[in-house]
Amino acid sequence: MSDAERSHFDLPINKGDFELGQLKPLCHSVSSVSNALIDYVNQVRFLDEKDWHPKQQQALKRLKTDGTWNFGNPYNLEDLTKWFEIYNDAFFGGLPTGLCKLEIVDYKTLYYIGSRLVAGICQTRMRHGRPESTLKFAFGSHFGPFKRVKTLLSDLIHEMLHSNFDLYICCCKDCSGVREGAHAAHWQRSALAIEEVTKEENLNEFGLGLNLGRNESMASDIFEGCRLPNDAELQSLKLDISIIPKMVQIFHKMKEKDGPDAISRIDGEEKLPALPLRKTIMEPFESDHLPQRLATGEFEVGHLKPHSYSAEDISAAIVQFLGESTYNCKIENLATRQQRALKKFKRQGTWHIGNPHNLEDIENYFEIFDDAYLNGLLRGFCKLELIDSKTPRKRRLQSPQWRLQCVPT
């Protein structure tokens, strides 16, 4: 049935009705769906956990017990589906249940939709008399695995938000004709509500620091010919007035480009605060300074003697060891321990995002990194501990931190 043949529907959404089974697909106004979603999301932000919706409590429980992601194989449907289900309960009242299909595809098939650069897309079509969404996410190697997962976590909610509107708002001819773009005010307000809940400084389990790309999305709509909101509208949506016009110009330039080099987060990389250099914690030995020479091929556990080499030789050996293991290197040409680390990373590179401060994952990655970058030299010399920070300066230090103790023999 075409949009022109559809009747207009604007069924009200009563407080508490924002959940699966209470809303009827294609029968609500965009403002009603947006307002109901914001009210639902704000329960996590403003209420005590005991007062959350049962589905949100269920999502939190699963996040704590099963909120993992395999960084060694970031583009896997198992983890993507699991986090879809967590988000579905936490932010969408379970509404997309049974109406969404997830796919991971090569970035070349998603690179441009029309003339707009995308990393994911929501395609909604009528099937067997009801709307169904397919959420596709681009498989690429432009970033490292940790950034890929964080980007996927953000892109997943971005596309789920599109799906939620596509599935439940009225799509008659009149309603379809007044839409201002895929990322207009109602989408922006809903996305903002989710971003506010997931801020890192919120100190809750959902504080993943997600970025739904709201500035880029508004710029892409304008690039496609949608109306540019005035400054007051942009400010009310907490959008960056200064950067959006620049992004539109960038989209025009990117339209002329092809290939993965054009793919980037336009609003910049995450900037981490500068940290002071590590201070020595060991007292000097009462012995003569007689560093041994570090011969080629000795940079491996069992071959080096503790406290016997100059910092310059150790540094040079690390650089030489890693210099042969660039991303252009074939796996069979890597050192034996590096091959083992890569194999373990792909199979067991899981980290519990819902409980990030856990010794099991830290020890697992310690072993991977030790083999991959230091050829196992730290094996048997280090002890890992989780400690409480007594003098927190920033949010990242307000939760349990880990400490590495060196135990030279």
Instruction: Output the DSSP codes for 123-163.
Output: EEEEETTEEEEEEEEEE--SS-HHHHHHHHHHHHHHHHHHH
Q: What is the pLDDT of residue 292?
A: 75
Claim to verify: residue 204 and residue 326 sit in the same structural domain: no
Amino acid residing at 181: G
Split at pLDDT 50, 70, 90, the class of 267 is very low
Claim to verify: residue 103 and residue 196 sit in the same structural domain: yes
Q: How many whole angstroms separate alpha carbon 67 and alpha carbon 356?
A: 9
On the question of pLDDT at 107 being above 80, the answer is no
Q: What is the pLDDT of residue 365?
A: 93
Beta strand pairing call for 100-106 and 130-139:
parallel
CA distances from 216 to 228, 275, 394 (A): 13, 30, 28
pLDDT per residue as tens digits for the range 68-95:
999 999 999 999 999 999 999 999 999 9
Claim to verify: residue 87 and residue 202 sit in the same structural domain: yes
Q: How many whole angstroms separate alpha carbon 286 and alpha carbon 42?
A: 62
Q: Which domain holds residue 190?
A: 3-262
Q: What is the pLDDT of residue 264?
A: 44
Q: What is the pLDDT of residue 162?
A: 96
Claim to verify: residue 329 and residue 210 sit in the same structural domain: no
Claim to verify: residue 58 and residue 189 sit in the same structural domain: yes
**What DSSP string describes 321-373?**
HHHT--TTS-GGGS-HHHHHHHHHHHHH-EEETTS---HHHHHHHHHHHHHHH
pLDDT per residue as tens digits for the range 328-348:
677 888 888 889 999 999 999
Residue 299 within a domain = no
On the question of pLDDT at 177 being above 60, the answer is no
pLDDT per residue as tens digits for the range 125-158:
998 889 999 999 987 666 788 888 988 999 999 9
Claim to verify: residue 246 and residue 163 sit in the same structural domain: yes
- Check: pTM over 0.85? Answer yes or no: no
Domain endpoint, select from 228, 262, 296: 262
Split at pLDDT 50, 70, 90, the class of 263 is very low
Q: What is the pLDDT of residue 403?
A: 61
Q: What is the pLDDT of residue 12?
A: 86
Claim to verify: residue 235 and residue 383 sit in the same structural domain: no
pLDDT per residue as tens digits for the range 158-174:
999 999 999 999 877 66
Domain endpoint, select from 246, 262, 278: 262
Residue 282 within a domain = no
Domain endpoint, select from 262, 293, 320: 262
Amino acid residing at 359: L
Residue 296 within a domain = no
Q: How many whole angstroms separate alpha carbon 99 and alpha carbon 132?
A: 5
Q: Tokens representing 199?
A: 């801020």
Residue 273 within a domain = no
Pick the closest to residue 215 from 239, 184, 191, 185 (CA basis). 239
- Phi (first) and psi of residue 305, to 5 degrees: -100, 125
- Measure the CA angle with vertex 375, ends 405 and 290; round to 5°: 70
Claim to verify: residue 212 and residue 322 sit in the same structural domain: no
User: For the chain, what is the domain count?
Assistant: 2
Q: Are 313 and 291 in contact (CB under 8 A)?
A: yes
Residue 409 burial (CB count, 10 A): 5
For 9-13, 227-231, 249-253, 279-283, which range has the lowest pLDDT when averaged over its residues? 279-283
Residues 66-81 as b/e (b if ≥16 CB within 10 A, e otherwise) read ebbbbbbebbeeebbe
Residue 85 within a domain = yes
Claim to verify: residue 258 and residue 340 sit in the same structural domain: no
Residue 220 burial (CB count, 10 A): 24
Residue 295 within a domain = no
pLDDT per residue as tens digits for the range 273-324:
333 333 334 445 455 555 677 776 778 777 787 878 888 888 888 888 887 6
**Averaged over 199-203, what is the pLDDT?**
79
**Averaged over 249-260, what is the pLDDT?**
69
Q: Are 207 and 199 in contact (CB under 8 A)?
A: yes
Token pair 């099937």 in the structure block, residue: 127
Q: How many whole angstroms separate alpha carbon 113 and alpha carbon 350?
A: 32
Q: Are 93 and 19 in contact (CB under 8 A)?
A: yes
Residue 240 within a domain = yes
On the question of pLDDT at 391 being above 50, the answer is no
Q: What is the pLDDT of residue 324?
A: 60
Q: How many whole angstroms separate alpha carbon 121 and alpha carbon 158?
A: 9
* Residue 377: burial class (beta carbons within 10 Å; 0-12, 13-18, 19+): buried
Residue 304 within a domain = no
| Type and span of the H or E element at 37 | helix 30-46
Q: What is the pLDDT of residue 252?
A: 82
Q: What is the pLDDT of residue 140?
A: 67
Claim to verify: residue 78 and residue 197 sit in the same structural domain: yes
Claim to verify: residue 190 and residue 250 sit in the same structural domain: yes
